[in-house]
Amino acid sequence: MNLSKKNLLDLYIHHRRIQSQLHELTYLFWECTLRCNFTCIHCGSDCRHESIVSDMPKEDFLKVLSDLRPHVNPNKTMIVLTGGEPLMRSDLEECGEAMYNMGYPWGFVTNGWGLTQHRLNSLLDTGLRSVTISLDGYSEETHEWFRGKKGSWLKALNAISRVTATPGLIYDVVTCVNKRSITELNRLKELLITLDVTHWRLFTVFPKGRAKDEPLLKLSVDEFVEMMDFISETRKEGKINVSYGCEGYLGDYEMEVRDAPFFCQAGIHIGSVLANGDISACPSLRGDYVQGNIYKDNFHDVWNTRFQVMRNRSWTKTGKCANCKNYKYCQGNGLHLRDEKTGELLQCHLEMMGKSAIEPNPKSIRKLADVLRFFT
């Protein structure tokens, strides 16, 4: 790593520490349903068309937002609806209008299946600010293998075309890179450019939910590095703003494949309300590290007085992280990549790139040197 980048990362450590102390809520995710019309191969939510967990009544979540208003600037607190598939809620427009009237910008994450022009127009009328659409392959075969839904590739393309043609709407396209889609990245890039997509985000799955049992979802070291190089080169081309997702410390690739250094903001800037009312942080955490429940706790009180497990990560300096020379930059990686019960790190991005993250033990080096001297 060159000296200037190292100096920037060192400065960023202080920024993260200050932000952890301030913990200003800027993103609030609402898992508004666990129903989904897809059976995605990687899903961490284990969503189904008919979920055993009922949709949260909109009034319950709107009360959370109402209680928060005296304590936050609504205009600077983004509300993002996730699922399941948010478009399966028939009252999404009512939810959106109520949030907009309270001053909150809002958006949602979708597979695109239900985003017809009529539905998009009705959502825009209620103040819709942002949309994230998933497209997981250049070919119909790759995308539909991943998403488990025949016809979903064309539906996603049509949804993307409608979104890019909407002036003022903030959007991005997200792609999960796996062993099938890694070979299609260049063609997928060109396709997205022809669709006038300006913002594209790539991510890789982590070993939880359905993903942990599917070997085709895990990239090899060579494939992961290939993806990093692809992102870096595409950013230099300047035809489309592509980035790697926010998870994981990436060593030399920091600030090469995304705009800012790695910073897991779960519980620091990002909170969430799950479908059953549980209060957590980044949606990737799912049911881990739950800090309360809106049906018995006040969200703002929980946000202010709990979440210490996320704001002070010193407890993560165990196992393979204990002697890692990059720990000060990584802080134990994304919290969703740890087993909540054991604290074990399930996935290290440096190891995914084939790099050793462990600082050699001086005692071991001296012992080895003594052995070598004996034989020479």
Rounded Cα distance, 308 and 247, in Å: 20
How many angstroms separate the CA atoms of 111 and 125, rounded? 21
Note the pLDDT tens digit of each residue in 73-99: 999 999 999 999 999 999 999 999 999
From 265, 272, 304, select the one nearest 290 (Cα to Cα): 272
Q: Tens digit of pLDDT for each residue in 237-291?
A: 999 999 999 999 999 999 999 999 999 999 999 999 999 999 999 988 878 999 9
Read off the pLDDT of residues 5-40 as tens digits, 9 standing for 90 and up: 999 999 999 999 999 999 999 999 999 999 999 999
pLDDT higher than 80, residue 361: no
The model's pLDDT over 170-201, given as tens digits with 9 standing for 90+, comes to: 999 999 999 999 999 999 999 999 999 999 99
Q: How confident is the model at residue 316 (pLDDT cuts 50, 70, 90)?
A: very high
Measured CA to CA, the distance from residue 79 to residue 91 in angstroms comes to: 16
Q: Residue 321 pLDDT > 50, yes or no?
A: yes
Q: What is the mean pLDDT of residues 137-160?
A: 97
Reply yes or no on whether the pLDDT at 374 is more than 90. no
Residue 358 has pLDDT above 60, yes or no: no
pLDDT > 80? residue 373:
no
pLDDT given for residue 206 in this prediction: 81
pTM of the model: 0.92
| Per-residue pLDDT at 367 | 40
Q: How confident is the model at residue 360 (pLDDT cuts 50, 70, 90)?
A: very low
3-state secondary structure of 230: helix
Lookup: tokens for 339: 């087993």
User: For residue 298, is pLDDT > 60?
Assistant: yes
The pLDDT value given to residue 55: 96
- What rounded mean pLDDT belongs to the chain? 92
Confidence band of 364 (pLDDT split at 50, 70, 90): very low
Detail the DSSP E strand segments found in 5-126: 27-31, 78-82, 106-110
Q: Does residue 173 contact residue 167 with C-beta atoms inside 8 Å?
A: no
In the DSSP assignment, the letter for residue 361 is P
Phi/psi of residue 218, nearest 5 degrees = -95, 120
Cα–Cα distances (Å) from 207 to 39, 200, 262, 314, 346, in that order, read 17, 23, 20, 23, 7
Write out pLDDT tens, residues 105-140: 999 999 999 999 999 999 999 999 999 999 999 999
Question: Which of 44-48, 246-250, 303-307 comes out lowest in average pLDDT?
Answer: 44-48
Q: Given the structure tokens 């539909």, which residue do they identify? A: 144
Q: What pLDDT does residue 48 have?
A: 53
For the cut 90, the answer to whether the pLDDT of residue 359 exceeds it is no
The DSSP output letter for 20 is H
pLDDT at position 224 over 60: yes
Pairwise CA distance, residues 219 & 135, whole Å: 18
Question: What is the edge-to-edge ordering of all strands in the sheet holding 270-273?
Answer: 241-244, 199-203, 170-176, 128-134, 106-110, 78-82, 27-31, 270-273, 278-280, 292-293
